[in-house]
Structure 1
Amino acid sequence: MTQPAFIIVGRVRKAHGIRGEVVVETITDAPDAIFASGRRVFAGTATGDLAPTRQELHVSSVRPFNDGYLVGFAEVPDRTAAERWRGRYLLLPRGEVAPPADDEVYIHELLGMRVELVDGQAVGTVEETYELPQGLAIDVRREAPRDQETVLLSYDERTIASVDREARVIVVTPPDGLLE
């Protein structure tokens, strides 16, 4: 598997106030270091690719806010500009982020992974991830003929049996009855 050049470290949830600050959901184990004043991040997509504009953003202010951070960027001067960032992802070059441990995975790597049961039966493909109060969840688009359905699975040790980053396969043990 080719390693992406950039890693997702945050997602802009919404604009806040009139000075161009945004609420950032951090997707990193080191948010205080990554979103420190003076640092720079890049605009990106949900799959960890640079946005077509290749825009670089410089952190000018940061403070904790609810379950994330209020971040000001030098390139985002007011609320109108901040509104355009809603839902956008923030990236750092791979070399500036600590690699995941052998039993870890970057959240954006889950997107598009095949999901199967322990016996090898296909469940579907990861379509989205959600940070919920209970922890991470993956939204899985079911295989045909149920491909109009999705199922939300907890990303925890009770549900996830294994993740093969190279093969891009997640093996799950969902609660009884969930897939019926």
Structure 2
Amino acid sequence: MSAKQLMIARIGKPHGLYGEVTVQLHTDEPERRFPDGQVIDTEAAPGSGVPRQLTVRSTRVHNGVWLLAFEEVPDRTGAEGLRGTRLLASALATEPDEVDEDAFYEDDLIGLEARDPGGVVVGTVSGLDIGGAQDRLVLTLTDGVTAYVPFVRQFVPTVTGDHVVVDPPAGLYDLYREGLE
């Protein structure tokens, strides 16, 4: 029986000539998750040629952006092929006493109904945008518009197994609809 895999980062664009890539972190503990020599499971598009596992060669932070290099990827061309790859860790890698009850993984949120405080369905959670200052829920509203809501208790007071309650500032959804008119 395999443990549930959780996304801890998503690979972005290449950086430099020697195989480094930017990563969008989905963990609060990058130092613990990405030590040199760590073998990390991957999830990539079928046929992409991305190995099922990558070995961390080095990590560093450049201008506030985390950069990773892998033993299997020696150059920029190889790094370009990793774009969009999800880096995974076993859910068991988190110690039970370290679990934060207010922490949610993107995989747990995607597909949940988004409801207003009155219980009316306003859309579906389609992603989690990890930001430097604050994360945002990505919602696909019932009319097909994509909207972003700050993922803080003030605007997302409830997360359950089948829905989230979203109470954004007045007019937030209209900002995303204006560009469509």
- 2:31 corresponds to: 32
Q: What letter is aligned with 1:64?
A: V
For structure 2, the residue ranges without an aligned partner over 5 or more in a row are 175-181
Q: Which residue of 2 aligns with 1:70?
A: 67
**Match status 1:154 vs 2:150:** yes
For the residue of structure 1 that corresponds to 2:77, the secondary structure is helix
Contact 1:63 1:69 survives alignment (8 Å)? yes
Residue type of the alignment partner of 2:155: T
Tell me, in whole angstroms, the C-alpha distance in 1 between the residues paired with 2:80 and 2:60.
19
TM-score (norm 2): 0.83
Structure 1 pair 54–20 and aligned structure 2 pair: CA distance change class (3 A): closer
Secondary structure of the residue aligned to 1:159 is coil
Which residue of the partner structure matches residue 91 of structure 1? 88
Report the CA distance shift for 1:80/1:179 in structure 2 as closer, same or farther (over 3 A): closer
Q: Identify the structure with the greater strand proportion.
A: 1
Instruction: Please give the secondary structure, in 2, of the residue aligned with 1:95.
Output: helix
Q: Structure 1 regions of 5+ residues with no counterpart?
A: none
SS at match of 1:108: helix
Structure 1 partner of 2:79: 82
**Aligned AA for 1:156?**
V
What is the CA–CA distance in structure 1 between the aligned matches of 2:82 and 2:9, rounded to whole Å? 12
How far off its partner does 1:132 sit? 2.9
Distance apart, 1:54 and its partner CA: 6.3
Secondary structure of the 1:120 match is coil
In structure 1, distance between residues paired with 2:57 and 2:108: 29
The residue aligned with 1:177 is 171
Number of equivalences: 169
What's the C-alpha RMSD, in Å, of the aligned pairs? 2.4
* Structure with the higher helix share, 1 or 2: 2
Decide whether the 8 Å contact of 2:50 with 2:82 is kept in 1.
no
**So what's the TM-score if we normalise by structure 1?**
0.83
Change (3 A) 1:56 1:98: same
Q: Percent sequence identity over matched residues?
A: 30
Distance 1:63 1:178, change over 3 A: closer
